[in-house]
């Protein structure tokens, strides 16, 4: 699916995930779809994870009379299916998707890349290749937002590519401690403090695939990440000339300290009101 009706309006977010189902809440805002798994042309999601992530980010709430509305219901979406129906994928497909985004960002108005997936490759070369990919995207001017992963709570459990120094890495504020403390924490292999900040991610209701245009509940740092991507989309609607470095600084300034270490909470819990008050 290529450039189906993109009008140049609204911030565009590319979502690397299991795909996207054309849910009623996305209206006509899915402007492109690329499938690196089965090479199908029309949007679909045989897992549900990607649709849920997109619902948190950009769902209009139309199918729930506004009850389950995303953070930025006016933004456009590009679905990049890099994970199969079991949620597994290859680093090569992630890199291909990132390369496509870099080459086409101006045509589609792509400003944000949401990566609610991560890996803990045993070999550092694989990890480094993914980090190089997202950092190339960052250096091209894109705002890359990545999940800290659900391999916590042990130190050094932030997954790649969220372990990149440059990108905005998001943990889950309500999945950091106790029996459900799965949110990845730093330091990274390069001794960088991560995540950068945290946001709610436990038992979040958002769009689910299927003809009924229903909703489902999921938990994890995957759910925290699109909350930040959506907030960034709102900010770029106000101030479209902001750079990725400026956006990251503003995000880090818009947090509430939870009293935990930087390798658990980053700068703290994201505060949307503080952020949009800039």
pLDDT attached to residue 121: 52
The answer to whether residue 38 scores a pLDDT higher than 80 is yes
Q: What is the mean pLDDT of the chain?
A: 93
Residues 6+ apart with CB under 8 A from 257: 265, 267, 268
pLDDT attached to residue 272: 98
Lowest-pLDDT choice from 40-44, 127-131, 174-178, 216-220: 127-131
SS3 of the chain: helix, strand, coil, percent, to 5:
30, 20, 50
The answer to whether residue 9 scores a pLDDT higher than 80 is no
| Overall pTM > 0.85 | yes
Distance, C-alpha 251 to centroid of its chain: 15
pLDDT attached to residue 124: 56
pLDDT category, 1, cuts 50, 70, 90? low
Q: Average of pLDDT values for 79-98? A: 96
The answer to whether residue 239 scores a pLDDT higher than 60 is yes
pLDDT in tens, 39-84: 999 999 999 999 999 999 999 999 999 999 999 999 999 999 999 9
pLDDT attached to residue 261: 95
Between 1 and 272, whose confidence is greater? 272
Lowest-pLDDT choice from 124-128, 145-149, 184-188: 124-128
pLDDT in tens, 181-226: 999 999 998 889 999 999 999 999 999 999 999 999 999 999 999 9
Task: Name the residues annotated as catalytic.
Answer: 17, 49, 222
What is the spatial order of strands in the sheet that 255-256 belongs to? 30-35, 76-81, 12-17, 110-115, 143-147, 168-172, 197-199, 269-270, 255-256
The answer to whether residue 8 scores a pLDDT higher than 80 is no
pLDDT in tens, 99-119: 999 999 999 999 999 999 877
Beta strand residue intervals within the chain, DSSP E? 12-17, 30-35, 76-81, 110-115, 143-147, 168-172, 197-199, 204-207, 215-218, 255-256, 269-270
Q: Average of pLDDT values for 83-93? A: 94
pLDDT category, 10, cuts 50, 70, 90? confident
The answer to whether residue 253 scores a pLDDT higher than 80 is yes
Q: Average of pLDDT values for 154-176? A: 95
The answer to whether residue 6 scores a pLDDT higher than 60 is no
């Amino acid at each position: 699916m290529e450039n189906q009706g993109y009008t140049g309006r609204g911030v565009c977010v590319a979502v690397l995930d299991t795909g996207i189902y054309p849910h009623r809440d996305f209206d006509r805002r899915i402007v492109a779809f690329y499938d690196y798994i089965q090479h199908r042309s029309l949007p679909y999601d045989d897992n549900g994870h990607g649709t849920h992530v997109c619902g948190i980010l950009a769902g209009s709430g139309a199918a729930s009379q506004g009850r389950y509305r995303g953070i930025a219901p006016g933004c456009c979406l590009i679905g990049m299916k890099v994970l199969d129906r079991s949620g597994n994928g290859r680093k090569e497909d992630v890199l291909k998707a990132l390369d496509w985004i870099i080459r086409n960002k101006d045509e589609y108005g792509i400003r944000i890349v949401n990566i609610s997936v991560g890996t803990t490759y045993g070999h550092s070369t694989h990890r480094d290749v993914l980090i190089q990919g997202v950092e190339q995207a960052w250096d091209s001017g894109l705002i890359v937002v990545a999940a800290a992963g659900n391999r916590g709570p042990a130190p050094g459990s932030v997954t790649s590519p969220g372990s990149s120094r440059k990108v905005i890495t998001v943990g889950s504020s309500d999945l950091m401690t106790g029996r459900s403390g799965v949110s990845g924490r730093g330091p990274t292999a390069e001794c960088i403090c991560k995540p950068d900040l945290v946001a709610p991610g436990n038992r979040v209701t958002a769009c689910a695939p299927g003809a009924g245009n229903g909703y489902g509940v999921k938990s994890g740092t995957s759910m925290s990440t699109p909350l930040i991507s959506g907030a960034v989309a709102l900010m770029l609607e106000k101030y479209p000339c902001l750079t990725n470095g400026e956006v990251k600084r503003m995000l880090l300034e818009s947090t509430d300290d939870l009293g935990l270490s930087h390798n658990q909470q980053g700068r703290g819990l994201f505060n949307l009101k503080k952020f949009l008050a800039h």
